[in-house]
Chain A
Amino acid sequence: MEAKVEIVQPSWVEEQLLLGMNWRDYFKSNLTPFNAVMAIILAIGIPVMVYRIAFGLGPSTNLSDYNPWGLWIGFDMLAGISVASGGFCIATAVHIMGMKEYESMVRPALVAGTLGYLFAVVGLLFDLGRYYRLYFPFFVSPGPNSILFLVALSVALYLHCQFFEWCPAIFEWLNLRKLRRWWIRGTLGFSIAGLLLTTGHQSALGSLFLLMPSKVHPLWYSDYLSILFYVSAIYGGITMVIIESMISHRVFADQLHGDDPGRFDRLTLGLGKAAAVVLFVYLGLKVLDLAHGYKWSYLATPYGYWYLFEVLGFVGIPALVMIYAVQNSRPVMVRGAAIAAAIGVLLNRVDITIVAFNWGLPWEYRYVPSWMEVVITITIISIGLLTFRFIVNRMPILHEHPDFEPEHP
């Protein structure tokens, strides 16, 4: 009598959430060095987050009356959102401009973008004195005269719009066929809305500083702040997509088995070409801004050297390297230049918010982030990474779902 084969039908939870394993196997499969580092970060970060909530901004930050905005606004919010616009760039290129060869990059860029926005807003929540009133500008007492109202409105709307753009992946994961078919018809609409809202808030984030000519160093303050922030957000997004595809190509290699290696390099070169053009445009705008504000004399000051280091080092050189790399089809060099350019965008945002802000003050009043602010920022980023991995491992982000035909708007 053959042994009765008992078919163990994995429960829905095991099937969907635990990648088809039961709890014990799933836990064992997660004992990896990367997860160990993440566990340490969270073990330190979560208590610091609780400390910030419980004891307020004073004890947990170096913010002061002279420096109201610190790392969370400068880095998490401003830099985070500028670099998270990868989803916008690729979605516009594919859905509106019809560059079908980048179709495979749309969903990872959108997921990374949505998480970037979500955790930028989380960083903002830690920075707000009364975070529980975040909905006030929309429902309680709107102040449309302020540029921050535009920022809040478009960031909130775009966070949802970007999430809706890749919702079909969730429906494929949950096997909701009818909803997915109905939802896909809106992809073009979401892409156009994304274009609108991104143009709105990326330029508005820069225009926040228009109100403070007496506070921001003349080299960084300019009448072109709106367009400067918008253009640098575009190449920030493109370079982030190059970096994300590089990392996910290595980390999630098993999900990309069907892919021929040449295609990935070709896509990187294509993105590198786009990034090179936008970097060049941004460089032109920067020089134009120097002329427009007649700021040449400031270049000879220490702040001028730091400004040249930021502009030449992180915009000029990456642009040239990118052009050379695209010309001689060197994808590895494109990725290197992309990393430098992305860091350049982060540096520019931190420069405006912290380094060049209230530059006239004596040094002892100047702002340096406290260790708790840095820990909370790192914790937020690592939670973002973990969420990204959770989504990519379960939902058809990097590959097409077998029993769903690909969406084409």
Chain B
Amino acid sequence: MPHTLLDLYSLTKGTEYIVIGAYLFLLISFWRFLTYKDKD
């Protein structure tokens, strides 16, 4: 449990950046999957 704003930000920002990483990975593979279909 975060005690101070500082702990809160460390926790929230840390998990945010992990979520962003996962999201970007999924977005790229989703986009490649979409455009790959157009090619053949």
Do residues B10 and A189 form an inter-chain contact, with CB atoms below 8 A? no
A275 vs B38: C-alpha distance when bound (angstroms): 37
Main SS at interface, chain B: helix
The range of chain A's interface size is under 10
Q: Taking the nearest CB of chain A, how far is it from the CB of B1, in angstroms?
A: 16
A153 vs B13: C-alpha distance when bound (angstroms): 13
The range of chain B's interface size is under 10
Residue of A at shortest CB range from B18? A144
Do residues B14 and A142 form an inter-chain contact, with CB atoms below 8 A? yes
Do residues A144 and B28 form an inter-chain contact, with CB atoms below 8 A? no
A153 vs B16: C-alpha distance when bound (angstroms): 14
Check: A68 CB closer than 8 A to any chain B CB.
no
Residue of B at shortest CB range from A149? B13
Q: Taking the nearest CB of chain B, how far is it from the CB of A210, in angstroms?
A: 13
Do residues A189 and B28 form an inter-chain contact, with CB atoms below 8 A? yes
Residues of A within 8 A of B10 (CB): 143-145
Interface membership of chain B positions 1-37, coded 1 if the CB is closer than 8 angstroms to chain A and 0 otherwise: 0000010011001101100000000001000000000
Do residues B17 and A144 form an inter-chain contact, with CB atoms below 8 A? yes
Q: Tell me the residues in window 147-162 of chain A with beta carbons closer than 8 Å to chain B beta carbons.
A: 149, 153
A120 vs B6: C-alpha distance when bound (angstroms): 30
Among A143, A145, A149, A153, find the residue whose CB has the most chain B CB atoms closer than 10 A. Answer: A145
Q: Tell me the residues in window 170-203 of chain A with beta carbons closer than 8 Å to chain B beta carbons.
A: 189
Q: Taking the nearest CB of chain B, how far is it from the CB of A287, in angstroms?
A: 32
Main SS at interface, chain A: loop
Residues of B within 8 A of A153 (CB): 17
Q: Taking the nearest CB of chain B, how far is it from the CB of A147, in angstroms?
A: 10
Do residues A145 and B28 form an inter-chain contact, with CB atoms below 8 A? no
A153 vs B10: C-alpha distance when bound (angstroms): 15
Residues of B within 8 A of A144 (CB): 9-10, 13-14, 16-17
Q: Taking the nearest CB of chain A, how far is it from the CB of B3, in angstroms?
A: 13
A189 vs B16: C-alpha distance when bound (angstroms): 22
Residues of B within 8 A of A142 (CB): 14
Residue of B at shortest CB range from A189? B28
Residues of B within 8 A of A149 (CB): 13
A55 vs B13: C-alpha distance when bound (angstroms): 38
Residue of A at shortest CB range from B7? A145
A143 vs B14: C-alpha distance when bound (angstroms): 8
A163 vs B21: C-alpha distance when bound (angstroms): 21
A149 vs B10: C-alpha distance when bound (angstroms): 11
A153 vs B18: C-alpha distance when bound (angstroms): 13
Residues of A within 8 A of B6 (CB): 145
Q: Taking the nearest CB of chain B, how far is it from the CB of A137, in angstroms?
A: 12
Q: Taking the nearest CB of chain B, how far is it from the CB of A131, in angstroms?
A: 24
Residues of A within 8 A of B13 (CB): 144-145, 149
Residues of B within 8 A of A143 (CB): 10
Residue of A at shortest CB range from B6? A145
Residue of A at shortest CB range from B31? A189
Residues of B within 8 A of A189 (CB): 28
Q: Taking the nearest CB of chain B, how far is it from the CB of A80, in angstroms?
A: 25
A145 vs B11: C-alpha distance when bound (angstroms): 8
Residues of A within 8 A of B28 (CB): 189
Q: Apart from A142-B14, A144-B10, A145-B10, list 4 A-B contacts with CB within 8 A.
A: A144-B14, A145-B6, A145-B9, A149-B13
- 15 A-B residue contacts at CB 8 Å? A142-B14, A143-B10, A144-B9, A144-B10, A144-B13, A144-B14, A144-B16, A144-B17, A145-B6, A145-B9, A145-B10, A145-B13, A149-B13, A153-B17, A189-B28
> What 8 A-B pairs have minimum CB-CB distances, sorted nearest first?
A144-B13, A145-B9, A145-B10, A144-B14, A145-B13, A144-B17, A145-B6, A144-B10
Interface residues of A (CB under 8 A from B): 142-145, 149, 153, 189
